[in-house]
């Protein structure tokens, strides 16, 4: 497949729809499509690489799944951070505890 065919609108639309179905977000689907096309362009210099539509769809699907995993990981980390902050002792309680401790030792 020639590079000109690769950037054909119909192929781009199919790849975009694949990414959008997985991610559910227009911006992330567009970013995924750009990453896949850029990777295909760089690999097109290699003699063994022939980017046909099924291969590009597979690359798009895998890249979209990777983005989805990263998104879920980030959401999990944020939730964990919020839970830690919610369970941390408040500043005023902590200073009172230290004040009592310090005055009790004197």
Rounded Cα gap, residues 15 and 7, in angstroms: 11
Annotate 5-50 with DSSP letters as a single string: HHT-HHHHHHHHHHHHHHH--HHHHHHHHHHHHHHHHHHTTSSS--
- Each residue's pLDDT, cut to its tens digit, for the chain (106 residues) gives 566 666 678 889 999 999 999 999 999 999 999 999 988 888 877 656 666 888 899 999 999 999 999 888 888 877 777 767 766 665 555 555 555 544 445 4
pLDDT value at residue 52: 83
Q: Which of 74, 75, 60 is nearest to 28 (CA)?
A: 60
Walk me through the domains of the chain, giving residue ranges and CATH numbers.
3-105 (1.10.1740.10)
Rounded Cα gap, residues 34 and 63, in angstroms: 11
Rounded Cα gap, residues 34 and 43, in angstroms: 14
Does the pTM exceed 0.95?
Answer: no
């Amino acid at each position: 497949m020639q590079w000109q065919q690769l950037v054909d609108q119909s192929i781009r639309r199919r790849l975009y729809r694949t990414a959008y179905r997985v991610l559910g977000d227009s911006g992330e689907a567009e970013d995924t499509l750009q990453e896949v096309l850029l990777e295909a362009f760089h690999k097109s210099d290699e003699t063994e690489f022939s980017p046909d539509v099924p291969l590009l769809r597979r690359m798009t699907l895998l890249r979209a799944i990777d983005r989805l995993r990263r998104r879920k990981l980030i959401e999990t980390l944020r939730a964990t951070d919020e839970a830690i902050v919610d369970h941390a002792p408040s500043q005023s309680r902590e200073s009172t505890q230290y004040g009592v401790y310090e005055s009790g030792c004197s």
